[in-house]
Chains A and B, each alone.
Chain A
Amino acid sequence: MSEPFGNPLLVVPDAPGPHQPRSGRRGSGFLDGPLRLGTTPSATVGPYLAIGMTWPDGAWAAEEGTAGAFWIRGRILDGAGDLVADAMVETWQADPDGGFASPEDPRGAASYPGFRGFARSHTADPPGEFAVHTLKPGRVPDGDGGLQAPHIDVSVFARGILDRVVMRIYFADEAEANAEDAVLRALPEDRRSTLLATPADDGYRLDIHLQGERETVFFAV
């Protein structure tokens, strides 16, 4: 492939007007359209994400020794069934009481002893496997008068993925809550299991399939 891109470099500026960053409209007090800046496009984390995106305490959404805490482990697999050893998984979730350690929660930021709600795990060691130490999230309102099943929002980053992919982890031992969950219910029945972590010795296990027969259900957020 000597000429991978037929066209010369093409860089097109944003249309003039309200989409321009640093626009002269600032401070006028009037806008003739919605002020909307173009978002910065995503890029791959590349193979060396460990330099900038790994923390010694990354895996610990719940501190060591927190009562009720467990490990969620799983492999990340590509379309050939091979392990992806240069990926990173990030998790974000409610605490066991259904609160979020975030001021963006309109009910107020929650705090739960020993719990951060957020974890990140590189998949380098053991190769292709992630592990986060956490607590079972509580049920949180779904916005339509119901409750969501316990779930964890997950971002997956890797070399060979240009934008993060998003999935949710649910728990296979929460059958009753899962049956009421609006997100799960909207999925074809045969695909729901790609999001269900199953009980294991020290917690739960769930493999993430980037492609293939068992491709995980990924979400557009």
Chain B
Amino acid sequence: MTGTTSVGGPHLPRYHREDAALRTPVGFPDYRSTALRAPLRTPVDLAHRLTEVTGPVLGEDRVLPHDADLTLRNGGEAVGQRILVHGRVLDSDGRAVPGALVEVWQANAAGRYRHVGDSFPAPLDPHFDGLGRVVTDSLGRYEFMTVKPGAYPWGNHHNAWRPAHIHFSLFGRAFTQRLVTQMYFPDDPLFGQDPIFNAMPAAARHRAISRFSLERTQENWALAFEWDIVLRGSDQTPFETDDDGDVA
């Protein structure tokens, strides 16, 4: 969908909507909790007007210095395989999204969340709370240090296990760009039996899987995984950039 809407002169961007065949449906039968929660009626198309093309500015004021390192909490080090998770936040026109708040949360290395609702009998880690926050830099880059989350069981079906994943929440610039998603790790043997993973259309699943990144692996310290996140773009003219992000 392209085109512009005039609001007394200035033109509003119209945000592209990914084809339904490449979007996660709101409900998915094998994920049983969706049965009573995912709306059943066809949503009504809402044209993009001022409320939809604007969004809150949430940046450094929501982030503390230690929020980018989840391995240091309560005066000690988290147990587990240290990993650096890094990547870029882009829109589908290829433009970097700078200054964007990225919120992450995850289970500890044993697969346990620090949450009253998590009854999985795996140990809690006094030095891991599973919460991170970062803001993308001028080129849309983000990175944080954490430990690789463990897989964990859940009650969806017999012997159901979630593949290791990190939850991500992103705002972008506009209400239309809001995204909450999960990052997976390469070649997880649990993908095949996980309905949350499989709810993503087959042709889009690879976009949720990070890439092992030997380049950023830190000698004697941490492995690295790279994951680029692509938010919806608009019909604004995209810039061509060189590798340094400068407009060519």
* Choice from A94, A106, A166 contacting B46 with Cβ under 8 Å: A166
A-B contact count (CB 8 A): 298
Within 8 A of A (CB), among B217-248: 228-233, 238, 240-243, 248
Cβ of A41 < 8 Å from any Cβ of B?
A: yes
Cβ of B214 < 8 Å from any Cβ of A?
A: no
A103 to chain B, nearest CB (A): 7
* Choice from A36, A43, A49 contacting B196 with Cβ under 8 Å: A43
Which A residues lie within 8 Å of B113 (CB)? 48, 51
Tell whether, in the assembled complex, residue B22 and residue A41 are in contact, meaning their CB atoms are under 8 Å apart.
yes
* Choice from A4, A22, A36, A48 contacting B30 with Cβ under 8 Å: A4
Which B residues lie within 8 Å of A160 (CB)? 31, 33-38
Cβ of B53 < 8 Å from any Cβ of A?
A: yes
- Contact A21:B41 (CB < 8 A) given known A41-B208, A162-B25: no
A119 to chain B, nearest CB (A): 9
* Choice from B12, B118, B240 contacting A27 with Cβ under 8 Å: B240
Cβ of A101 < 8 Å from any Cβ of B?
A: yes
Tell whether, in the assembled complex, residue A118 and residue B7 are in contact, meaning their CB atoms are under 8 Å apart.
no
State the CA gap A41–B23 with chains docked (Å).
6
Cβ of B179 < 8 Å from any Cβ of A?
A: yes
Cβ of A31 < 8 Å from any Cβ of B?
A: yes
Tell whether, in the assembled complex, residue B192 and residue A5 are in contact, meaning their CB atoms are under 8 Å apart.
yes
Tell whether, in the assembled complex, residue B94 and residue A106 are in contact, meaning their CB atoms are under 8 Å apart.
no
Stretch at the interface among A128-136, A138-146, A196-204: A138-146
Cβ of B105 < 8 Å from any Cβ of A?
A: yes
Tell whether, in the assembled complex, residue A44 and residue B243 are in contact, meaning their CB atoms are under 8 Å apart.
no
Tell whether, in the assembled complex, residue B33 and residue A159 are in contact, meaning their CB atoms are under 8 Å apart.
yes
Would you give the 0/1 interface string for A144-175, flagging 1 where the beta carbon is closer than 8 Å to chain B?
Answer: 00001001010101111111111010000000
Stretch at the interface among B77-85, B135-143, B199-207: B199-207
Tell whether, in the assembled complex, residue B131 and residue A221 are in contact, meaning their CB atoms are under 8 Å apart.
no
A42 to chain B, nearest CB (A): 5
Interface core residue of A35, A104, A168 (most chain B CB under 10 Å): A104
B177 to chain A, nearest CB (A): 9
Chain A residues within 8 Å of chain B by Cβ, number: 91
Which A residues lie within 8 Å of B167 (CB)? 43, 45-46, 48-49, 52
A203 to chain B, nearest CB (A): 20
Cβ of A10 < 8 Å from any Cβ of B?
A: yes
Cβ of B6 < 8 Å from any Cβ of A?
A: yes
- Contact A26:B200 (CB < 8 A) given known A14-B206, A92-B51, A161-B34: no
Cβ of A67 < 8 Å from any Cβ of B?
A: no
The 8 A-B residue pairs with the shortest CB-CB distance in the complex, in nearest-first order: A52-B105, A106-B10, A160-B33, A160-B37, A118-B56, A102-B54, A219-B46, A79-B36
Q: Could you give 30 example pairs across A and B, Cβ below 8 Å?
A: A5-B192, A14-B207, A36-B92, A36-B94, A37-B90, A37-B92, A39-B232, A40-B231, A42-B179, A42-B181, A43-B167, A49-B105, A78-B37, A79-B37, A82-B36, A94-B51, A102-B57, A102-B173, A102-B174, A118-B55, A143-B12, A148-B49, A162-B25, A162-B34, A162-B38, A164-B178, A210-B37, A210-B39, A216-B39, A220-B46
Give the A-binding residues of B (Cβ under 8 A): 5-13, 15-18, 22-28, 30-31, 33-41, 43-58, 62, 90-94, 103-105, 113-115, 117-118, 129-132, 157-158, 167, 169, 173-176, 178-182, 191-193, 195-196, 198-209, 228-233, 238, 240-243, 248
